[in-house]
Amino acid sequence: MSRLYLVGTPIGNLGDLSPRAVEVLGSVDFIAAEDTRVTLKLLNHFGIKKPLVSYYAHNLRERGQVIVARILAGERCAIVTDAGMPCISDPGEDLVRLCAEAGVPVEAVPGPSAAVTALAVSGLPTSRFAFEGFLSVKRNSRTAHLAQVKDDPRTLIFYEAPHKLLATLNDLLEAFGNRRISLARELTKLHEEVRRTTLSEAVEWYAEHPPRGEFVLVVEGAQVRLDEPPTLEEAVELVQALAAGGMSLSDAAKEAARQTGYKKGELYKHSLNVPVPEQEG
Ligand code: SAM
């Protein structure tokens, strides 16, 4: 049956293209690709021959209509981008909307996404997070964006290009203060690296060591501001919340001690008597 397939492709390691993705790419009538040269290399590697149409930021308005018309006429289309999941800081969102409006079925063939992969290896809380994509290069929009998320307690995920990394780290430090950050570089590739550090140390490091490759920045969320000194009960609740978010009880007690001023040992001891609440989902 005619439809649009959203096909996730590797963010580096070709071994991450799923067998189902290979099967779908080999069986559709045509493939809409962000950069047909990049996709051709992927298809050649897997021995797949398919007609390609380009679908990228600057032609998506008229090209989207053409693609939907072809699907409505009975064809099956797969959309892919240069790497990762379509629609995530990549073309696709607009096409899915057009398909939804036209009643065209959309099926996901999920693959890796740099954002979620970087979050998973960050060592920062993963139970609640916000994907912030790329910061604008325009100073005003950039400042407004950072001001908007400054007090968000969720872990924040940003994409960044290497030549803008240092400026972005400086802006994050200025807007957020010295928070923890995990920088995931070249995920799934030969020079994969995860640097778990603080914003000020990251600024120092990359001022000395010019960044190369692709980066995802995973930044600690805002600490909950407590206007009055927290009670012991509140501090123990914080330990429980951090533990429920995936931290070990010992790390949760350490973090809560840092945030509340209570002694880690005291919080740990009291937390042992309180059962960790079950996580949703
Ligand atoms: N749609 C893609 C996804 O789902 O991950 C993201 C596309 S976006 C245009 C490209 C950005 O993703 C890069 O600038 C970088 O921030 C991040 N990225 C992609 N591949 C990466 C990798 N292997 N390691 C680290 N970051 C990566």
Q: Any idea what the CATH number is for the domain that residue 193 is in?
A: 3.30.950.10
**124, 130, 224 from 179: Cα distances, Å:** 11, 16, 13
**pLDDT higher than 70, residue 277:** no
Out of 112, 146, 162, a domain closes at 112
User: CA 93 from chain center: how many Å?
Assistant: 16
Q: Does any ligand 1 atom lie closer than 6 A to the CB of residue 34?
A: no
What are the pLDDT digits (tens) for 13-49?
999 999 999 999 999 999 999 999 999 999 999 999 9
Mean pLDDT, to the nearest integer, of 87-115? 98
Assess whether 148 and 213 both reside in one domain: yes
Res 279: pLDDT: 56
Assess whether 197 and 240 both reside in one domain: no
Assess whether 62 and 135 both reside in one domain: no
Q: Does any ligand 1 atom lie closer than 6 A to the CB of residue 249?
A: no
Average pLDDT, the chain: 94
Res 245: pLDDT: 81
Residue 278: inside a domain = no
Cα-Cα end-to-end distance for the chain: 33
Residue 201: inside a domain = yes
State the distance from the centre of ligand 1 to the C-alpha of 225, rounded, in angstroms. Answer: 33
Residue 226: inside a domain = no
- The count of other CB atoms within 10 Å of the CB of residue 54 is 16
Pocket test for ligand 1, best of 182, 215, 218, 219 (most atoms within 8 A of CB): 215
Residue 276: inside a domain = no
Number of separate domains in the chain = 3
Assess whether 240 and 191 both reside in one domain: no
Could you list the residue range(s) of the whole structural domain that residue 10 is in? 4-112
Measured distance CA(122)–CA(219) in Å, rounded: 9
Q: Is the pTM of this model over 0.75?
A: yes
Mean pLDDT, to the nearest integer, of 231-253? 89
Out of 219, 246, 262, a domain closes at 219
The confidence band for 241, taking pLDDT boundaries of 50, 70 and 90, is confident
Q: Does any ligand 1 atom lie closer than 6 A to the CB of residue 87?
A: no
Backbone angles phi, psi at 235, to 5 degrees: -65, -40
Ligand 1, residue 184: give the atom nearest the CA.
25
Mean pLDDT, to the nearest integer, of 147-172? 97
Assess whether 122 and 187 both reside in one domain: yes
**pLDDT higher than 50, residue 1:** yes
Q: Does any ligand 1 atom lie closer than 6 A to the CB of residue 182?
A: no
Assess whether 194 and 242 both reside in one domain: no
Residue whose structure tokens are 């021995």? 47
CA-based nearest residue to 71, from 106, 34, 40, 36: 106
CB 187 within 8 A of CB 118: yes
Assess whether 91 and 131 both reside in one domain: no
State the distance from the centre of ligand 1 to the C-alpha of 72, rounded, in angstroms. Answer: 32
Assess whether 82 and 94 both reside in one domain: yes
Residue 253: inside a domain = yes
- The count of other CB atoms within 10 Å of the CB of residue 147 is 10
Q: Does any ligand 1 atom lie closer than 6 A to the CB of residue 11?
A: yes
Res 226: pLDDT: 56
The confidence band for 273, taking pLDDT boundaries of 50, 70 and 90, is confident
Res 71: pLDDT: 98
Q: Does any ligand 1 atom lie closer than 6 A to the CB of residue 184?
A: yes
CA-based nearest residue to 169, from 215, 115, 116, 225: 215
Q: Does any ligand 1 atom lie closer than 6 A to the CB of residue 84?
A: yes
Res 281: pLDDT: 47
CA-based nearest residue to 197, from 173, 174, 213: 173
Assess whether 60 and 130 both reside in one domain: no
Res 258: pLDDT: 86
Out of 90, 112, 134, a domain closes at 112
What are the pLDDT digits (tens) for 220-232?
999 976 567 889 9
Residue 277: inside a domain = no
State the distance from the centre of ligand 1 to the C-alpha of 158, rounded, in angstroms. Answer: 10
Residue 92: inside a domain = yes
* CATH number assigned to the domain comprising residue 69: 3.40.1010.10
State the distance from the centre of ligand 1 to the C-alpha of 53, rounded, in angstroms. Answer: 22
Q: Residues 225, 229, 232, CA angle at the centre, nearest 5°?
A: 110
Assess whether 91 and 123 both reside in one domain: no
Question: How many CA atoms within 13 Å lie on the side-chain side of 75?
Answer: 16
Assess whether 81 and 103 both reside in one domain: yes
Res 246: pLDDT: 85
Q: Does any ligand 1 atom lie closer than 6 A to the CB of residue 78?
A: no
Assess whether 81 and 124 both reside in one domain: no
Residue 173: inside a domain = yes
What radius of gyration, in Å, describes the C-alpha atoms of the chain? 22
